[in-house]
Chains A and B, each alone.
Chain A
Amino acid sequence: GENVEQHPSTLSVQEGDSAVIKCTYSDSASNYFPWYKQELGKRPQLIIDIRSNVGEKKDQRIAVTLNKTAKHFSLHITETQPEDSAVYFCAAKDSGYSTLTFGKGTMLLVSP
């Protein structure tokens, strides 16, 4: 089955800095890679996703890049703000079913 590794587990940045979270996956047949944000006490919510036929996708201050050859993808947040503080999960869609395998999460803390 799919295996997703996520780094770092915690990340502290100053407001205005950039933050990068990296994930690797094992199944070369995976074709969908979402990122979820979970604020304290709330449910995970999709913030951006990318499919395997695209190398990069941007949405305002967030972007995701995908390297299919190396089987890794990354989340980039620019001009971080305190409200970006949350746990971020990467995931890869398993080939066959509509299931996702999640990374273990990155706790991002943005200090004012």
Chain B
Amino acid sequence: DVKVTQSSRYLVKRTGEKVFLECVQDMDHENMFWYRQDPGLGLRLIYFSYDVKMKEKGDIPEGYSVSREKKERFSLILESASTNQTSMYLCASSSTGAGDEQYFGPGTRLTVT
């Protein structure tokens, strides 16, 4: 059973703080993704990675960066949090060789005040 976990379910940060969101998957998946989910806007891709130390920008990368030092772990970094980054953040992973299904983590509800 695929398991994708995220470091926090709820997080409250102040404007200007540096924020780290971590995601870990236990199925040796090559691909990992970070999305943000906002009401009425669906799931929007921030960044993705298809291998260790590789990263690609998604549709809304501005204000975010990522790190993938190990295959199982993909971190999303908000260098200087702003109120418009208040959102639900979802991590997902998938296997290149075993279909295209993405498995999602439980999400982190981030509030920036």
Contacts and interface: CB of A to CB of B under 8 A. Distances in A.
A34 B45 CA distance: 16
B58 A45 contact: no
Nearest to A1: B59
Interface in B74-112: 90, 94, 96, 100-102, 104-107
Contacts of B102: 34, 46, 100
A33 B59 CA distance: 19
Contacts of B107: 43
Given A43-B90, A98-B96, A99-B33, A49 B101 contact: yes
A68 interface: no
B100 A102 contact: no
Given A43-B107, A44-B104, A45-B104, A103 B59 contact: no
Given A43-B106, A104-B42, A105-B42, A98 B94 contact: yes
| Size bracket of the A interface | 20 to 34
A32 B50 CA distance: 18
Interface centre among B33, B43, B44, B101 (most CB of A within 10 A): B43
A9 interface: yes
Nearest to B45: A99
A101 B58 CA distance: 10
Interface of B: 31, 33, 40-45, 48, 50, 56, 58-59, 90, 94, 96, 100-102, 104-107
Interface of A: 1, 6, 9, 32, 34, 42-46, 49, 89, 93, 97-105
Given A99-B58, A102-B42, 5 more contacts: A34-B102, A49-B101, A99-B33, A99-B45, A105-B42
